[in-house]
Amino acid sequence: MTGPGRTDDGYVLGHSARELDRLDLQGALYLEPTLSVLERSGIGPGMRVLDVGCGSGDVSALAARLVGPSGHVQGVDRDEGTISAARERAASRGLDNVGFEAGDFARGVGAEGFDAVIGRFILMHQTDPASALAAAARSLRPGGVVAFVESSMTLLRDGLHSQPPSPLYDRIVRWKCAVVGGAGAHLDAGMALRSTFLAAGLPEPETRLEAAVVGGAGHPYFRYIAESVGSMLPMARRLGITGFDAASAAALGSALEAEVAASGGVLIAWPVVAAWCRTPGA
């Protein structure tokens, strides 16, 4: 591994079929804050949008609906298998105004003149988030939109992220932070977004923090937590972090759900920060 999620081998969540399913589940859980930032930032009909670190294309699909048939969304991901999955998902969603290409956006995307550059859960995986963001922003026309959503894992603290306090959620949060942080990703990318924008030479962004409060039986967050832990097991093994194995990870969603149901309590789901701005006009 050469650094924080910087090569396919070092990427904390891997690129398995299971991880692509986890991305779909994550897309559903974070649909509202994502759609909200895309709309608030001004993405609309006819625009050409670049989605960096597009994964299986969930954010690209949301943007594709906003830009409509006269617009176009270009997704970029450095993993070839993920790009193939994104193409298949776009076809099954009936989207013909999106395209996907393999590449490392932090080294610059060949094309220019985009109306907007967007990304979700991606700056946290860059060696230098500000220079990666600056590289992506160089693909914009003057007056273009920049809109990103990042998680802030450090906001979930023992005793504060659940009510009444959930010992199992404590364990899961600590374990996930240890694995993601151990892989070199930035745990506080969300809270750092404003300073990342400024360090990238962008104007002062508008910002929002959002988190779901989860309690009800059958909430998809419980399954998402189990799937996330499952996707991170290979990296945890490499880092020598113990605590969960395949069997305990598989049972984690129902165990957490049962604990919360028994206490009649709630959990704060992983919070996200959104930031957006427009670059200076021509």
Ligand X SMILES: C[S@@+](CC[C@H](N)C(=O)[O-])C[C@H]1O[C@@H](n2cnc3c(N)ncnc32)[C@H](O)[C@@H]1O
Q: Which residues bind ligand X (CB under 6 A)?
A: 5, 11, 13, 23, 27, 53-55, 58-59, 76-79, 82, 104-106, 120-122, 125-126
The beta strands (E) that lie in the chain are given as 48-52, 72-77, 98-102, 114-120, 140-151, 162-163, 206-210, 213-214, 266-268, 272-278
Closer CB to ligand X, 104 or 158, in the complex: 104
The 3-state DSSP composition of the chain as helix, strand, coil percent (nearest 5) reads: 45, 20, 35
Q: Report, in Å, the least distance between residue 43 CB and ligand X.
A: 15
Closer CB to ligand X, 48 or 125, in the complex: 125
Q: Report, in Å, the least distance between residue 104 CB and ligand X.
A: 4
Q: How far apart are the first and last CA of the chain?
A: 42
Closer CB to ligand X, 13 or 212, in the complex: 13
Q: Report, in Å, the least distance between residue 205 CB and ligand X.
A: 18
- CA angle 70/105/63 to nearest 5° reads 30
Q: Report, in Å, the least distance between residue 6 CB and ligand X.
A: 7
CB atoms within 10 A of CB 2: 9
The verdict on whether omega for the bond into residue 271 sits within 30 degrees of 0, i.e. cis, is: no
- C-alpha distances (whole Å) from 239 to each of 13, 175, 192, 246 are 13, 12, 25, 16
Q: Report, in Å, the least distance between residue 207 CB and ligand X.
A: 18
Closer CB to ligand X, 118 or 155, in the complex: 118
Closer CB to ligand X, 132 or 191, in the complex: 132
Q: Report, in Å, the least distance between residue 164 CB and ligand X.
A: 31
Closer CB to ligand X, 60 or 166, in the complex: 60
Contact between 81 and 16 (Cβ < 8 Å):
no
* Integer Cα distance of 105 and 127 in angstroms: 12
Closer CB to ligand X, 61 or 268, in the complex: 61
In the complex, residue closest to ligand X by CB: 55
* Integer Cα distance of 65 and 73 in angstroms: 10
CB atoms within 10 A of CB 102: 13
Q: Report, in Å, the least distance between residue 178 CB and ligand X.
A: 18
Closest to 273 (Cα-Cα) out of 50, 124, 73, 115: 124
